Structure 1
Amino acid sequence: MVDDLSRFHGLTRPQLMSRIRSRGNKKTEIALLKILREQKFTGWRRHAKLPGKPDFAFPRLKVAIFVDGCFWHGCPRHYKPPTTRGAFWEQKILTNRKRDRRVSRELRAKGWQVVRIWECALVGTRRPATIQRLQRYLAPCPADAGDLPPAQHH
């Protein structure tokens, strides 16, 4: 079977690539979902209409969680720039990081706590530390804690 590529005639590579829509980071979202369920954290929502579209939002606690992919967000431990089009990829990762910082500032200005987790921190030896970090934000609050944010209860 021959594909009809005539609809792409005359488009540049960037124009073609811009038409490819992301399918999301399902694998990392599922890994975090597994942790949330194992730890019996409740009250989360996916696809919340918040700046930056957090992977998980806890509206009652006002906690937004993002799982940042090691490649797309430039993990200091695992990011390896591609060997071709180096300047493009350097700018792309820099732009992603700037957007992450802007989105985090916007959410904090609205009273949300922002948790950013590297995808590599969801598995292996870093997983327990990630669970502890999540517990600081998501653990049930003591009855006498009043209106303090969850991170200040411990």
Structure 2
Amino acid sequence: MSRQGSRDTVPELAVRRLLHAAGLRYRVNVPVPGMPRRTIDITFGKARIAVFMDGCFWHGCPEHATQPKANAEWWRTKLDKNVTRDRETTEFLRSAGWTVLRFWEHESPEEVARRITEAVAAKRQPLDDL
């Protein structure tokens, strides 16, 4: 598991390229304030938007998650903890006033980038009206 990449995955890079091409600027792998060992994949700090690109296997995608047969009980516990940690992180950030967007790795990068762009525009709109 130590060799498993947790940042700069292919789906994440594809989305980041599209966001950058659309003129959006962001930070990557930002620690979640107050929650050790947890990071936000893509962050729009001023807009307070946190984007997570979740892998189907590691985060329990309802469509594509698989269950390992070898050492099944250990894996089930491990993967359930990942899902629980994701929920806790989402709830923590939302209670702190953040908009949390979660996407699966199998989702179209163009669709993901479009939804993120819309969310950022919606957050920035009231500031532009002043």
Instruction: Provide the TM-score with structure 2 as the length reference.
Output: 0.80
Give the C-alpha shift of residue 83 in structure 1: 2.1
Q: Distance in 2 between matches of 1:120 and 1:97?
A: 17
Unaligned residue ranges in structure 2 (runs of 5+)? none
2:8 matched to which residue of 1?
26
Give, as a single letter, the amino acid of the residue that structure 1 aligns with 2:60. G
Find 1:137's aligned residue among 109, 119, 128: 119
1:3 matched to which residue of 2?
none
Residue 39 (str. 1) matches residue 22 (str. 2): yes
Give, as a single letter, the amino acid of the residue that structure 2 aligns with 1:106. F
Give the C-alpha shift of residue 72 in structure 1: 0.3
The count of corresponding residues between Structure 1 and Structure 2 is: 122
Runs of 4+ aligned structure 1 residues displaced above 3 Å come to 20-23
Find 2:91's aligned residue among 84, 97, 105: 105
Residue 89 (str. 1) matches residue 75 (str. 2): yes
1:80 matched to which residue of 2?
66
Unaligned residue ranges in structure 1 (runs of 5+)? 1-16, 147-154
State the Cα RMSD in Å. 2.1
Q: Distance in 2 between matches of 1:94 and 1:120?
A: 20
Give the C-alpha shift of residue 40 in structure 1: 2.2
Residue 71 (str. 1) matches residue 57 (str. 2): yes
More strand by share: 2
Q: Distance in 2 between matches of 1:87 and 1:101?
A: 21
Taking only the aligned residue pairs, the percentage that are identical comes to 32
Q: Distance in 1 between matches of 2:103 and 2:82?
A: 15
Q: Which has the higher contact order (CA 8 A, sep 6+)?
A: 2
Give, as a single letter, the amino acid of the residue that structure 2 aligns with 1:48. V
